[in-house]
A and B are shown apart, each in its own frame.
Chain A
Amino acid sequence: MSGVRLLVGTRKGAFILTADAKRQHWEVAGPHFGGWEMYHLKGSPVDPNRIYASQSTSWFGQLIQRSNDGGVTWTPVGNEFAYDGIPGTHQWYDGTPHPWEFARVWHLEPSLSDPDTVLAGVEDAALFRSTDAGQSWQELSGLREHGSGPSWQPGAGGMCLHTIIVSPSDPKRIVVAISAAGAFRSDDEGVTWKPINKGLHSEGIPDGDAEVGHCVHHVTMHPSRPDVLFMQKHWDVMRSNDAGENWFEISGNLPSDFGFAMDVHAHEPETLYVVPIKSDSEHFPPDGRLRVYRSRSGGNEWEPLTKGLPQENCYVNVLRDAMAVDTMDECGVYFGTTGGQVYASANAGDSWAPIVRDLPAVLSVEVQNLA
């Protein structure tokens, strides 16, 4: 029986939500790791039963959990994320040098071809790779050491590497994004890196057009066109048609171009989804109305999707990794909120219904298609 499985990370545990292909009736399993912050869970595209999960607390640090049976049972694997060499310093909030210190894993990106290989984006910002199913981790230190590292500064949520995109057409090409440094690309499997922020403009930094220093919130792409990247920056929704070499704004008629989450329709590479948030100090939707905005033209022209979503007194946020799309014939779209709701649309966003309403604050949502 075909269906979908949602992997939901929250502030106080992980939940696994499953449904058949109609995506109307859901089973909820969890909490797994109750009481722990589950920043991200993601399954291997090669073996969907292989799932990696980032588990942490301020008390007991970071663990990585691995499941080989679709999230029924879990095994803790390697949790030592040692920076390569002498890590040096980055800028602190007050502009002074601050030593690089590992805090947590924000994002796990399993390989497109090998279930034992997985990338991890961490705070303080760096990229690690495991090739033994998470048992050991090695830093791809060319990113942190490429030259601009000492000038990176933390965003309000910490200096995190939160986005990892591996090109389906060229596995040597990796794009990452860091708050608040910007986007970076490697074309040699993570050995060397360069900033790809030309065209970004940020008012919160001294040189608004600087090569690095931008608070990129999320980057996404459609697998059929890996050179077309879409970005939700702190403010501004952006697009690149050349793998990040140049960016241009596509915010168009959005009610606010601040936000975190963003995704692309599974079958329509020019159909995008964002969730506008009022501002960087008011992390809730404009007018208390939770609206997903969809563009069917690759940006600039956006339509609000409201059917089934609360249109009054709604003051939740949708975080950067908390939106996902499935690849069913009629594309499913999912997102979770800081109010603990997980919403699903089985018709590409035309209408929505909550799967669950009262989870802890949702940090991440990923979806797997099940054969």
Chain B
Amino acid sequence: MIRVLLPAHLKTLAGVRGEVDVEVVGPVTANAIVDALETTYPALRGTIRDPATGRRRPFVRFFVDEVDRSHDEPDEPLPSGVASRKVPFIVVGAMAGG
């Protein structure tokens, strides 16, 4: 299981509090984690990635172990600490006003 921390609005949508755990089969990548999130919590479909392009939404960021992984290839394996549950995969609503 992978530890995931969602921003407040997405927690509300998913109906969860705190961290969530999702099951990822195969390489632990950003896309695989978001796929698992959307399967486990259908209300999140389209909120992290644009359904038309499949790309991360511009005002969404992915942080891992204090490093911004938003611009990494989304199918690239994430640092091993995510798979080993040492650190969570953090989904962040970017600071962009509002």
Contacts and interface: CB of A to CB of B under 8 A. Distances in A.
B52 interface: yes
Nearest to B8: A35
B13 A59 contact: no
B51 A59 contact: no
Task: Identify whether the interface residues of A are mostly helix, strand, loop, or mixed.
Answer: loop
A76 B13 contact: yes
Contact of B46 (A57, A59, A62): A62
B93 interface: yes
Contact of A58 (B10, B45, B46, B96): B96
A61 B50 contact: yes
* Binding site secondary structure of chain B: loop
Nearest to B60: A59
A80 B51 contact: yes
A185 to B, nearest CB: 28
Nearest to B14: A76
Contacts of A63: 13, 43, 46-47
A60 B45 contact: no
A57 B9 contact: yes
Interface in B10-53: 10, 13, 42-43, 45-48, 50-52
Given A76-B13, A79-B45, A59 B96 contact: yes
B46 A80 contact: yes
A152 B42 CA distance: 35
Contacts of A35: 9
Contacts of B10: 60
B52 A82 contact: yes
Contacts of B57: 59-61
B94 interface: yes
A101 interface: yes
A61 B59 CA distance: 10
Nearest to A79: B46
A76 B15 CA distance: 11
Given A80-B46, A101-B52, A58 B98 contact: yes
Counting contact residues on chain B (CB < 8 A from A), the size range is 20 to 34
Contacts of B9: 35-36, 57, 59-60
A102 interface: yes
A35 B57 CA distance: 18
A57 B94 CA distance: 12
Contacts of A79: 45-46, 51
B52 A59 contact: no
Contacts of B98: 57-58
A101 B45 CA distance: 18
Contacts of A57: 9, 98
A102 B37 CA distance: 23
Interface in A267-316: none
Nearest to B48: A60
A60 B52 contact: no
- Which of B46, B50, B57: most chain A CB closer than 10 A? B46
A81 to B, nearest CB: 8
Interface in B50-98: 50-52, 57, 59-60, 93-94, 96, 98
A196 B93 CA distance: 42
Given A59-B93, A101-B52, 7 more contacts: A35-B9, A57-B9, A59-B7, A59-B57, A59-B59, A60-B93, A61-B47
24 contacts: A35-B9, A36-B9, A57-B98, A58-B59, A58-B98, A59-B7, A59-B57, A59-B60, A59-B93, A60-B9, A60-B10, A60-B13, A61-B47, A61-B50, A63-B13, A63-B46, A63-B47, A76-B43, A79-B45, A79-B46, A80-B46, A82-B51, A82-B52, A101-B52
Interface of B: 7, 9-10, 13, 42-43, 45-48, 50-52, 57, 59-60, 93-94, 96, 98
- What 6 A-B pairs come out closest when comparing CB atoms? A60-B47, A59-B59, A76-B43, A59-B93, A80-B51, A79-B46
